[in-house]
Amino acid sequence: MLNEIFYFILNMSITAATIVIILLFIRVLVGKYISKTLIYLLWCIVLFRLLIPISISSRYSFINLIDPKLTKVVEVDLLENETPDIYYSAINSIQLAENYNPIVYKSDRIEKVINIASSVWLIVTCIFLITLITIYIITMKDLNRAVKLNYDMNILYKYKKQLKIKRKVEVYESVHVNTPIVIGVSGTRIIVPHGINSDMLDYVLLHELSHIKRKDNIWRLLSILAVCIHWFNPFAWLFLYFSGQDMESACDLKVLRNIPYDRRKDYALSLVKLADDQRTLFPAMGNTIVKQRLMNIINYRKLSTIMIILTSVLCMIITILLITNPIV
C-alpha cells in the first residue's frame, strides 16, 4: 500500500517538476510582457499537479510531446552465466497517464529499494508535517496575545469597499511579528508590527487586503503542504520560492491600481522600511526580493486592453497544455 502511494507521489512530482521548468522559462523570457497576476495564477497549475492525484486527459497535453508511450512497469531481466556474477538489465519507466496501475516488480532487489525509499519518504514527510503543525501552534499562541490596533477604521472600510471585500476583517498589532501577516479564513485578522508608522499603515492595509481578496493565505498554506509531501523534489522548493515572490508582486500591482500615481514613491519607500525592520536569516535573499518588487513598481505600466486579451488567451492555452495528461 505504501509503495503504491509513493508511486503516485513520484509520478505527480516528476510531472510538476517539468511544469516548474517550463514556467521558469516563461517567467524569464516573456515575464515582463505578462501581468504578474497571470504569472502567479500559472503557478496554481504546479500546485494542482503536486496535490491532486486525479488527472484530466486531453489530446493537447504537453506531456504528449515528451513521450507518448511511457510504461509503468519496472522490469528486470536476470541473466546468469558461468561466474557467480549476475548482470542486470533494467527498464524503469514511469507513466504520466490518467490511471496508474500497481507497479510490477521482476526483482526482489528492486522491490527492496522501493520499500526503503517509500519508508524514508513517509518518515521525512511526517517529520515535516509535525514540524509545520508545531510551528503553527506556537505562532498562533503568540499571535493570540495581539491587541487591537487603535487607528482610523475609515481607512479599512474605504479599502474594503474599494476591493469589494464583504467579510469581517480586524486589525491587530503584535510584538511577535516584524512584517504584516494575514491569519484566519472566515474571521480574518491582519497582524501588523507593534508601533507601525501611521503613514505606512495605509499602504500595509491595502496590500494585506489584496491578499485577503485573493485568499493568498490559503494558497500559501497549501503550497507549504505540497512541499512537505514532495520534500525530495528540488523543483517543489523552487515553486514555493518563486510563487511566493510572484504573489507579492501581484499584490503590489493591485495596490498600484488603487492609489494615485504620485503615491507610488511612498508605497515603494514603505516596502524598503518594512524590509529594513524585518529580521531574516538570509538578508541577501530578502534584499533581492525587495529590489525586484521595487523595480516592478518603478517600471509598472498599465497593459493595454489588447495586450491583456492576448496574454489571457496565452495563459489559457498554457493552462490547457500543462494541466492535462495524455489520453491512453
Burial class (CB in 10 A: 0-12, 13-18, 19+), 309: exposed
Q: Which of 77-91, 150-164, 171-185, 212-226 has the lowest mean pLDDT?
A: 77-91
Query: Above 80 in pLDDT, residue 163?
Result: yes
What's residue 276's pLDDT? 60
Average pLDDT over residues 66-71: 48
Angle at 149 between CA 147 and CA 152, to 5 degrees: 160
314 phi-psi bin (left φ>0, alpha ψ -120 to 50, beta other):
alpha
Is the pTM higher than 0.85? no
Q: Beta-carbon neighbour count of residue 164 at 10 Å?
A: 7
Query: Above 90 in pLDDT, residue 13?
Result: yes
Q: Which of 54-63, 209-218, 240-249, 280-289 has the lowest mean pLDDT?
A: 280-289
* Residue with more model confidence, 225 or 267: 225
In the 8-state DSSP scheme, what is residue 232? T
Q: Which of 35-39, 102-106, 263-267 has the lowest mean pLDDT?
A: 102-106
Q: Where are the domains of the chain?
A: 2-130, 133-305
Question: Band of the pLDDT at 132, cuts 50, 70, 90?
Answer: very high
Contacts of 82 (CB under 8 A, 6+ apart): none
